[in-house]
């Protein structure tokens, strides 16, 4: 059993596996080199030789306990036929949402469009660098994907009232997402993913209708992953009530963000926890980093815990700080 499965299934509190959200990416010089030669991000995600190499880069360097596939949550709208571009110093930019066109896309068309993502997984399945490690597949949560598909650009500056205006568009897009997120998950598991993580990066923007936008759609996906016999990790970033979320949605593990007070949380929580450390701590100094890591590990001494961050690692992170992080987690007694 892998260290993470040991935590998830056997509820082992003696080990602290470690991996980092967005571990395959921009803080790594070896990634930046590949990226420079591949300005089209979608094409890079569809090049299974390169995506395989990028997925393994952080494993080879740091020996993390899990590899997360190099792909993106926006590969899903791309797979259903909405245009997706990544613009330099701007982020994602999506094309018009032509619902009637997307509703005609079949399971086969979609799976064909994303074939290189599944090929990446099947190629890595028996890779010896991943021996005794998990291979994490992922999806965006329905809410977060809905936000990108309708808003077309990052909702960094919030969502306008306009966003919620067309109820039919919202409802039909949510139905479409439920269908294709499940297909994408099934394909990833069949190809070799041993865990699925659901990224709900913009869950914190939900202010009303929590059942409609957060609980019901996420529960539907979580139950589906469980029905395939694979553990599922939820990351509803920025929500105010993680306890309520876990009671309703019941993921196999919950990834907390850095605004959650872990001490208070575990009084009410009976499932394994992942993450929490503010990625900005990696921009401070070694002493502070060690102190903060140890304080998370101390809180979770008697609770199954996978060490990770409270959001993705920042591009400006120094490599040496990541070595320090791994060493500190591994040396904790």
Virtual torsion, Cα 186, 192, 196, 202, nearest 10 deg: -80
Q: Please identify, among the stretches 1-9, 70-78, 182-190, 283-291, the one whose residues bind ligand 1CP according to the rule CB under 6 A.
A: 70-78
Task: To the nearest 10°, report the CA torsion of 18, 251, 48, 122.
Answer: 100
Considering only 64, 138, 180, 213, the residue that binds ligand 1CP (CB under 6 A) is 138
Burial 53-81 (b: 16+ CB within 10 A, else e): bbbbbbbeebebbbbbbbbbbbbbbbbbe
State yes or no: residue 156 binds ligand 1CP (CB under 6 A): yes
Which contiguous run of DSSP H or E holds residue 136? strand 134-140
CB neighbourhood size of 90 (10 A): 10
Among residue numbers 303 through 322, which ones bind ligand 1CP (CB under 6 A)?
312
- Residue among 2, 5, 18, 41 that touches ligand 1CP (CB under 6 A): 41
Query: Any contact of residue 157 with ligand 1CP (CB under 6 A)?
Result: no
What is the C-alpha separation between 92 and 77, in angstroms, rounded?
12
The residue from 5, 23, 57, 188 that contacts ligand 1CP (CB under 6 A) is 23
Nearest CB to ligand 1CP, comparing residues 143 and 299: 143
Q: Does 86 bind ligand 1CP (CB under 6 A)?
A: yes
Please state whether beta strands 91-94 and 84-87 pair in parallel, antiparallel, or not at all (unpaired).
antiparallel
Among 154, 216, 220, 259, binds ligand 1CP (CB under 6 A): 154
238 is a contact residue toward ligand 1CP (CB under 6 A)? no
Q: What angle do CA 40, 31, 94 make, to 5 degrees?
A: 30
Q: Sign of the C-alpha dihedral, residues 288, 293, 295, 296?
A: positive
Cα–chain-centroid distance for residue 288? 26
Neighbour order of strands in the sheet with 195-199 = 66-68, 134-140, 195-199, 232-235, 253-255, 273-274, 305-306
Stretch that binds ligand 1CP, among 69-77, 168-176, 263-271, 323-331 (CB under 6 A): 69-77
65 is a contact residue toward ligand 1CP (CB under 6 A): no
Tell the smallest beta-carbon distance from residue 29 to ligand 1CP (Å): 13
Of the residues 4, 7, 8, 24, which one makes contact with ligand 1CP according to CB under 6 A: 24
Q: List the one residue from 201, 274, 308, 328 that touches ligand 1CP (CB under 6 A).
A: 201
Q: Which segment (66-74, 103-111, 157-165, 279-287) binds ligand 1CP by CB under 6 A?
A: 66-74
| Binding of ligand 1CP by 26 (CB under 6 A) | yes
CA 219 to centroid of chain Cα atoms: 16
Instruction: Verify binding: residue 91, ligand 1CP, rule CB under 6 A.
Output: yes
Residues at the contact surface with ligand 1CP, assessed by CB under 6 A: 21-26, 35, 41, 68, 70-74, 86, 91-92, 138, 154, 156, 199, 201, 312
């Amino acid at each position: 059993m892998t260290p993470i499965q040991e935590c998830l299934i056997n509820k082992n509190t003696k080990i602290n596996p470690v991996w980092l959200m967005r571990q395959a990416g921009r803080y790594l010089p070896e990634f930046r080199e590949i990226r420079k030669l591949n300005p089209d991000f979608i094409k890079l995600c569809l090049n299974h030789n390169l995506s395989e190499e990028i997925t393994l880069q952080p494993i080879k360097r740091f020996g993390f306990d899990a590899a997360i596939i190099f792909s993106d949550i926006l590969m899903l709208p791309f797979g259903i036929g909405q245009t997706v571009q990544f613009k330099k110093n701007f982020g994602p930019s999506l094309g018009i949402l032509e619902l009637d066109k997307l509703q005609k896309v079949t399971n086969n068309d979609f799976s064909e469009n994303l074939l290189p993502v599944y090929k990446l997984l099947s190629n890595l399945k028996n890779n010896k660098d991943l021996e005794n490690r998990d291979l994490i597949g992922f999806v965006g949560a329905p809410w977060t994907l809905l936000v990108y598909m309708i808003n077309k650009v990052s909702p960094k500056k919030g969502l306008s009232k306009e966003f919620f205006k067309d109820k039919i568009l919202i409802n039909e897009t949510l139905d479409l997402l439920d269908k294709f997120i499940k297909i994408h998950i099934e394909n990833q598991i069949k190809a070799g993913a041993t865990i699925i993580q659901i990224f709900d990066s913009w869950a914190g923007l939900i202010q009303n209708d929590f059942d409609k936008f957060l609980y019901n759609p996420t529960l539907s996906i979580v139950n589906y992953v469980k029905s395939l016999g694979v553990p599922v990790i939820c990351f509803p970033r920025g929500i105010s009530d993680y306890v309520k979320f876990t009671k309703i949605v019941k993921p196999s593990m919950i990834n907390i963000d850095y605004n959650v007070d872990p001490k208070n949380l575990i009084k009410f929580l009976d499932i394994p926890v992942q993450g929490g450390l503010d990625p900005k701590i990696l921009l401070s100094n070694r002493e502070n980093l060690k102190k903060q890591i140890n304080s998370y590990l101390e809180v979770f001494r008697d609770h199954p815990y996978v060490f990770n961050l409270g959001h993705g690692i920042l591009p400006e992170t120094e490599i040496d700080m990541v070595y320090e992080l791994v060493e500190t987690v591994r040396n904790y007694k």
